[in-house]
Amino acid sequence: MASVIRTQVGIVGAGPAGLLLSHLLHLEGIESVVIESHTRRHVEERIRAGVLEQGTVDLLNETGVGERMRREGLVHHGIELRFNRQGHRIDMYELTGGRAITVYGQHEVVKDLIRARLHAGGQVCFEVDRVSVHGFDGTSPRIRFTKDGEPREIACDFIGGCDGFHGICRPSIPDGALRFFEKVYPFGWLGILAEAPPASEELIYSNHERGFALLSMRSQALSRLYLQCTPEEDLAQWPDDRIWRELQTRFETASGFRLHEGAIVQKGVTAMRSFVAEPMQHGRLFLAGDAAHIVPPTGAKGLNLAAADVRVLSRALAHYYRTGSGELLDRYSTTCLRRVWRAQHFSWWMTSMLHRFEGGDGFDHRRQLAELDNVTSSRAASAHLAENYVGLPFDPPGETS
DSSP 209-265: TT--EEEEESSSS-EEEEEEE-TT--GGG--HHHHHHHHHHHH--TT---PPP-EEE
CA distance 15 to 47: 12
> Burial, 381: exposed, middle or buried (Cβ in 10 Å; 0-12, 13-18, 19+)?
middle
CA distance 91 to 78: 5
Residue 88 falls in the annotated catalytic set? no
Q: Which of 16, 198, 296, 297 is catalytic?
A: 297
Q: Which of 301, 320, 332, 355 is catalytic?
A: 301
If one counts every other C-beta atom within 10 angstroms of the C-beta of residue 233, the result is 18
User: Which DSSP letter does residue 170 get?
Assistant: H
CA distance 78 to 65: 25
314 contacts 307 by C-beta, under 8 angstroms? no
Residue 389 falls in the annotated catalytic set? yes
Residue 205 falls in the annotated catalytic set? yes
Q: Which of 185, 226, 332, 389 is catalytic?
A: 389
* Distances 347 to 183, 300, 365 between C-alpha atoms, Å: 12, 8, 19
Strand, coil or helix: 184:
strand
CA distance 186 to 361: 15
- One-letter amino acid at 364 equals D
Q: Which of 76, 107, 208, 355 is catalytic?
A: 76
Q: Which of 205, 226, 320, 332 is catalytic?
A: 205
Catalytic residue numbers read 76, 205, 297, 301, 389
